[in-house]
Amino acid sequence: MKKKKISKWKIIGLSILGVLILGIAGFAYEYYQLQPKNHFKTVPVVSNGKNDSKDLPETANVNDPVFNVLLIGSDERKGQNIGHSDSMMLVHVDLKQQKYNAISIPRDTRVHLDGYGYTKLTSVQYIIQATQGPKKGVEAAVTAVSELTGVPINYYVETNYGGFQSMVEAVGGIDMNVPFEVKLTHPWYGENKNKVISPGVHSFDGKMVTEIVHERYSLKNGEFGRQKLQEEALKGVAKKALSPSNITNLPSLVKSIDDFVIATNMSTSDMLSLGLSAKNFNPDKQLTYYQIPGEGKRMYDDILKNTNYQLVVDQQKIDEIVSTNFQ
């Protein structure tokens, strides 16, 4: 009996089918691995929240996808590799319950830097970058916040104002709630000098969002008012980036991360997993925001060798917030 001849087109068709099956299987495996409960089984430890970090482990095993991220806004200019920590926000991420607790750390907070003495938090990154390089500088800032709050920090993401502008533009602009009147007294762009933004929800491009989150001198509550504006801007970015219409663009957005992030210890897969878990993010229901109260004083700065404005924070209040929302 003659063997039936197999058509070359049938062979090609079967080969294509095989490739497709392998591709789908590979995608399914990657998607499975990106699920937070599978991806965040081990997290890095940048600082453990204690003054003694000699035996600090590089990673920690976690039962649930729960970790802490420090967001840093630097005043670093384009072409530079040194800057001050101009804004800092610590976020407790609980992907199991889909809840996020955030606390702003004032830039002028008085902290102690080993080997140097007392100074403002904003100066820690700058002085260590100047003497030990960019990576050591950002890690020193992370450690300072970790020791101040007593909270272990696993990840950090640092951007600057140019990077933040690019981030907003990458998602096509945002809708931002402006809770109070803002007058732009120190704008990045001269044409916006003394422009007044009225309270309410506005549609902004990256340029205007950058101007607003930079302002503090005209605000009734100064730095605390600026922190509130930064919170509203981040809400707007998260809502837009994680909306159903944009979630399919998340991989390409993550791939362009170099356009708006100066430094981070999060991998591409970390960001994708975090983004996929937070799709349909509703900050009004899922995000709780806190500020640290304190008393402004003129005190001696051991690094700058002068007396300047520093904020002595209420440590008891920090401990109360942390014990309830960041453990």
Secondary structure string (H, E, C) spanning 53-122: CCCCCCEEECCCCEEEEEEEEECCCCCCCCCCEEEEEEEEEECCCCEEEEEEECCCEEEEECCCEEEEHH
267: DSSP letter: -
pLDDT for the residue 255:
77
191: DSSP letter: G
3-class DSSP assignment, residue 222: helix
Q: What is the mean pLDDT of residues 238-244?
A: 84
State the average pLDDT for the chain.
Answer: 86
Give me 103's structure tokens: 């606390």
More confident residue, 22 or 165: 165
Residue 13 lies in a domain: no
pLDDT for the residue 284:
86
Whole-prediction pTM: 0.85
Residue 81 lies in a domain: yes
Residue 22 lies in a domain: no
Burial of 195 per CB tally in 10 Å (0-12, 13-18, 19+): middle
More confident residue, 178 or 29: 178
- Number of domain units in the chain: 1
Q: What is the mean pLDDT of residues 48-73?
A: 85
Residue 226 lies in a domain: yes
Residue 18 lies in a domain: no
User: Which whole-number Å values give the CA distances from 104 to 75, 92, 113, 229, in the listed order?
Assistant: 17, 12, 20, 11
Containing structural domain, residue 269: 40-325
Residue 115 lies in a domain: yes
Maximal CA-CA distance, the chain: 101
Closest CA to 115 of 91, 97, 131: 131
The pLDDT > 70 percentage for the chain reads 88
3-class DSSP assignment, residue 223: helix
pLDDT for the residue 26:
40
3-class DSSP assignment, residue 292: coil
Residue 21's pLDDT band (boundaries 50, 70, 90)? very low
Give me 234's structure tokens: 């981040």
The Cα–Cα gap between 68 and 284 comes to: 20
Q: Looking at the predicted structure, is the pLDDT value of residue 14 above 70?
A: no
Give me 220's structure tokens: 């009734």
CA 21 to chain centre: 38
Residue 25 lies in a domain: no
pLDDT tens digits, residue range 186-223? 898 999 999 999 999 999 999 999 999 999 999 988 99
CB 116 within 8 A of CB 123: no
pLDDT tens digits, residue range 92-126? 999 989 999 999 999 999 999 999 999 999 999 99
257: DSSP letter: G
Q: What is the mean pLDDT of residues 270-295?
A: 86
The Cα–Cα gap between 106 and 88 comes to: 7
Q: What is the CATH number of the domain that holds 169?
A: 3.40.630.190
Q: Looking at the predicted structure, is the pLDDT value of residue 17 above 60?
A: no
pLDDT for the residue 27:
39
Residue 8 lies in a domain: no
- Position 102: which residue type? A
